């Protein structure tokens, strides 16, 4: 029996209001239209156990930052083992709305979780798995929060945090991208959705060899 060619793993990252969920859906549809089998997923969540933890994280009253990071990685481990690794092994391309960089930006840069805690949890949960391409949709926090309010849905616990927190999160994502330019691409998400999506297609085509 011929073994399936491993798929590719693309993640969307960035602060609130950058359009990650919308653009992840659009990219998944774009890849599918080009004959590429795609799984669209999200974090926290993406498997039954991880979705249960998501409800605690987004709707709860808050945890100690280290405990929160541990919950994030518990959800991520479930997601990786139940959903992402099997999909990649079967030859699917996985498009994920948030992944490990969100924990580094939100919990480490935003909430002060020590870097060694993040590294230890990453080793346990991921066993070396990292995205092939991470698209960081960058938007100033004040604009991002304005967009989040305009969605007309109740804000989650992270959206209710103060401006200083969101500024630290943005700085965290930009620092990650600067440290790992071969994996990360920062895209200006202040532009309109069509222009942002064109930039996404260009990055995917250039880095992963898919028709734009």
The answer on pLDDT for 138 being more than 50 is: yes
The answer on pLDDT for 144 being more than 70 is: yes
Q: In whole numbers, what is the pLDDT of the chain averaged over residues?
A: 92
Strand partners, 95: 10, 40
Average pLDDT score over residue span 105-121: 96
Annotated domain spans of the chain? 9-207
Average pLDDT score over residue span 78-98: 97
**Beta strand extents in 75-211 (DSSP E only):** 93-97, 133-138, 184-188
Which of the four pLDDT bands, split at 50, 70 and 90, describes residue 4? low
Distance CA 131, CA 166 (A): 24
Distance CA 172, CA 103 (A): 10
pLDDT of amino acid 1: 40
Distance CA 7, CA 85 (A): 9
Per-residue 3-state assignment (H helix, E strand, C coil) for 56-98: HHHHCCCCCHHHHHHHHHHHHHHHHHHHHHHHHHCCCEEEEEC
> Options 3.10.20.30, 3.90.1150.10, 3.40.50.300, 3.10.129.10; which CATH number does 9-207 get?
3.40.50.300
């Amino acid at each position: 029996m011929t073994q399936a060619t491993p798929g590719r793993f693309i993640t969307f990252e960035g602060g609130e209001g950058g359009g990650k969920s919308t653009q992840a859906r659009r990219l998944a549809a774009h890849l599918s239209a080009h004959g590429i089998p795609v799984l669209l997923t999200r974090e926290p969540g993406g498997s039954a156990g991880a979705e249960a933890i998501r409800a605690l994280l987004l709707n709860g009253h808050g945890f100690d930052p280290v405990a929160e990071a541990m919950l994030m990685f518990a959800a991520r481990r479930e997601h990786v083992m139940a959903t992402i690794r099997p999909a990649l092994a079967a030859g699917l391309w996985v498009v994920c709305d948030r992944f490990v960089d969100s924990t580094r930006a939100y919990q480490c840069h935003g909430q002060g979780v020590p870097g060694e805690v993040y590294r230890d949890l990453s080793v346990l949960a991921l066993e070396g798995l990292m995205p092939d391409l991470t698209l960081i949709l960058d938007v100033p926090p004040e604009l991002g929060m304005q967009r989040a309010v305009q969605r007309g849905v109740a804000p989650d616990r992270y959206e209710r945090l103060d401006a200083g927190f969101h500024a630290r999160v943005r700085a965290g994502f930009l620092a990650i991208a600067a440290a790992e330019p071969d994996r990360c691409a920062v895209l200006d998400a202040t532009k309109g959705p069509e222009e942002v999506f064109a930039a996404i297609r260009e990055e995917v085509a250039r880095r992963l060899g898919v028709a734009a």
